[in-house]
């Protein structure tokens, strides 16, 4: 190894140590769950002030919702970049690399920029004790400002009203949908959760709602009315009949039909914002926007949305992780043609699984497992519950072992699905990508 290669290895090791310190000192919701949740934005406001209010130096789009935030955020960012804009994208959680959370035109923030931010602001973090999400939000805003992005797509972490990202005043707010999830933090009814998500609606800033129900409509209408905000329901807009197949999306999954309608309604609203259009210039053309939407996964490196990991045997994964999301995923899975259906599945411990069990296919053979996170529900407990409900399967203590077990019995015509949580998908991708031609060996 040459000197440059050695120095690169040392730099990565130093970076990894600093990042691990942050994860341990300020645990993330992704890693430890509810005990990392810190409602309120006062600390974030202080951090933002110390940084010089970076979010005021670029336009923003703010996105909340129970499901679909990631797909909508990435499709929208890809479309805007294809129109010639310099676009920041802030999302969570990450699958493989922390830096997936912060991107500009599809490129992750560099390790050097992450390291520099963490070391520069370490004293403030130790003094003020911001949450992990507040730290990453501040990092994203600072990075986007210094890189002079034209606009940034900002996804909330949890909820909306008390989310760290809610210090911004966007040019457009988007709420994808409302379902029962994270109820211990957001409320146990759809209207209660809608109130929290609708907290991102700002005075006189238009808002697009992707999916609405009889229970959530009055909430959105009341809050948008109070704040004099134009309210558009995507499922009732001019785009209500658009299908995901109309755009040949590289982001797969039946649920993308709802998401693309939301994206198109958002672009329609943006197309009537004169300051924004002046920034976009001649690049704001239908063909550019269509190309960006259709190639969102390629342009932004988004993974885990009905993603095919192998073709023979067919292996599909999806990051759907709550009842509302998995209902659609399992419905699509039932329609796939396969001689035998196998499922590698695991969940986080705090997830309410009763509704999810009702959507899981009974004609599948399950590999009950657990992800490499302390939040994981034990494979043993999952198997006991599932078997009591009539599901057939076996227990494996990690995703790799489950995949090894499937490999030993696979046959032509099989379909293997991997899911239940983001962590299960991340472990599967990591396992398979570190073993070339795993199923062909």
Query: pLDDT tens for residues 118-175?
Result: 989 999 998 988 888 999 999 999 999 999 999 999 999 877 888 899 999 999 999 9
Q: SS3 of 368, please?
A: strand
Q: Which pLDDT score is estimated for 6?
A: 40
Q: Which pLDDT score is estimated for 321?
A: 85
2: pLDDT strictly greater than 50 = no
Q: Which pLDDT score is estimated for 13?
A: 80
- Architecture per CATH, domain 36-113+134-300, reads as 3-Layer(aba) Sandwich (3.40)
Q: Which CATH class is domain 307-433?
A: alpha beta
311: pLDDT strictly greater than 50 = yes
Q: Which one, of 117, 113, 193, lies nearest residue 156 by Cα?
A: 193
Task: Give span(s): CATH 3.90.190.20, the chain.
Answer: 307-433
190: pLDDT strictly greater than 50 = yes
413: pLDDT strictly greater than 70 = yes
Q: Choose the weakest-confidence range: 28-42, 112-126, 153-167, 423-437.
A: 28-42
Q: 219 burial class (0-12, 13-18, 19+ CB within 10 angstroms)?
A: buried
Structural contact between residues 270 and 53, judged by C-beta atoms closer than 8 angstroms: no
Q: 174 burial class (0-12, 13-18, 19+ CB within 10 angstroms)?
A: buried
Record the pTM: 0.90
Q: Which pLDDT score is estimated for 416?
A: 98
Percent of the chain beyond pLDDT 90? 71
Structural contact between residues 367 and 344, judged by C-beta atoms closer than 8 angstroms: yes
Long-range contacts of 299-302 (CB under 8 A, 24+ apart): 299/78, 299/81, 299/82, 299/105, 299/106, 300/74, 300/77, 300/78, 300/89, 300/103, 300/106, 301/100, 301/103, 301/106, 301/108, 302/70, 302/71, 302/74, 302/251
Both tokens assigned to 313: 């045997």
Task: Give span(s): CATH 3.40.1190.10, the chain.
Answer: 36-113+134-300
Buried b (16+ CB within 10 A) or exposed e, 364-397: bbbbbbbbebebbbebeebbeebeeeebebebbe
């Amino acid at each position: 190894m040459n000197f440059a290669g050695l120095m690169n290895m040392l730099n990565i090791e130093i970076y990894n140590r600093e990042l691990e310190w942050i994860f341990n000192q300020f645990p993330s919701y992704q890693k430890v769950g509810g005990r990392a949740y810190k409602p309120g934005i006062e600390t974030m406001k202080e951090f933002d002030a110390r940084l010089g209010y970076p979010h005021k130096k670029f336009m923003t789009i703010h996105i909340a919702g129970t499901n679909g935030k990631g797909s909508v955020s990435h499709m929208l960012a890809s479309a805007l970049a294809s129109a010639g804009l310099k676009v920041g994208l802030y999302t969570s959680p990450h699958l493989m690399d922390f830096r997936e959370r912060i991107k500009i035109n599809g490129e992750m923030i560099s390790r050097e920029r992450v390291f520099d931010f963490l070391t520069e602001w370490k004293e403030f973090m130790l003094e003020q004790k911001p949450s992990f999400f507040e730290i990453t939000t501040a990092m994203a805003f600072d990075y986007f400002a210094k890189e002079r992005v034209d606009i940034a797509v900002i996804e909330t972490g949890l909820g909306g009203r008390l989310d760290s990202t809610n210090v911004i005043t966007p040019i457009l707010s988007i709420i994808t949908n409302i379902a029962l999830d994270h109820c211990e933090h957001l409320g146990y009814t759809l209207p209660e959760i809608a109130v929290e998500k609708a907290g991102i609606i700002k005075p006189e800033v238009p808002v697009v709602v992707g999916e609405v129900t009889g229970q959530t409509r009055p909430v959105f209408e009341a809050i948008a009315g109070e704040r004099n905000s134009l309210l558009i329901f995507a499922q009732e807009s001019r785009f209500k009949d658009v299908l995901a197949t109309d755009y040949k999306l590289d982001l797969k999954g039946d649920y993308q039909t709802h998401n693309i309608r939301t994206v198109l309604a958002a672009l329609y609203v943006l197309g009537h914002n004169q300051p924004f259009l002046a920034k976009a210039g001649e690049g704001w053309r239908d063909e550019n926007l269509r190309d960006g939407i259709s190639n969102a996964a390629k342009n932004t490196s988004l993974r885990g949305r009905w993603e095919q990991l192998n073709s023979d045997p067919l292996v599909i994964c999806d990051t759907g992780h709550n009842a509302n999301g998995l209902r659609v995923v399992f419905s699509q899975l039932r329609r796939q043609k396969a001689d035998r259906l196998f499922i590698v599945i695991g969940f986080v411990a705090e997830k309410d699984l009763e509704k999810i069990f009702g959507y899981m296919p009974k004609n599948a053979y399950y590999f009950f497992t657990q992800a490499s996170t302390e939040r994981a529900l034990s494979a043993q407990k999952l198997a006991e519950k599932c078997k009591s409900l009539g599901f057939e399967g076996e227990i494996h203590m990690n995703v790799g072992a489950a995949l090894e077990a499937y490999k030993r019995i696979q046959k032509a015509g099989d379909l293997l699905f991997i899911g239940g949580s983001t962590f299960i998908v991340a472990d599967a991708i990591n396992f398979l990508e570190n073993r070339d031609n795993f199923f062909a060996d």
